[in-house]
Structure 1
Amino acid sequence: MNNYSFSDSQSFTQAAFNRVAELVSQNGQCALDNFVPAFSTEQCLEHLAFVASEMAYDYSLIDVHSDLYKKTNAELKEEMGDC
């Protein structure tokens, strides 16, 4: 188990936002691996970025994950057509 130390609560919360984004992204990856859009993952990451932004935290890492899902979901949706 890792033992982390943070200088203040803001650093802890920032790290928590980033870690949650990583976990949500990892969870949605299995859908993409099976060529299934992960719309709920995209929406969750977008909302997480919104919350981080509203609380004045850096949401750039969350946006990287969100953009990946947005683009991949759009590509998969286009390939699937009206299925």
Structure 2
Amino acid sequence: METLASLHHLSDWALLALRLGVGVIFLVHGRQKLRVWKMQPSAQMPAGLLSLLRVLSIAEPLGGVAVITGLLTQVAAAGFVLVML
């Protein structure tokens, strides 16, 4: 247990690394969805699903930036939970 106690001073850096990692993942993943803005509804891509993907293409990068910058981190994380459901 002494080893874990001696690492406590690094907890802020660990949280920063975690925040950066999660933020970058959602930023890049949301950026990949930007091409759905050019798509048209079809039998394979109904209008409702296309609308959802368009909303996610905005929400994921914005949430990623929010988590990276530390701005409204808890709200962005709650949004990520909803997105991942």
Q: TM-score, normalised by structure 1?
A: 0.42
Q: TM-score, normalised by structure 2?
A: 0.41
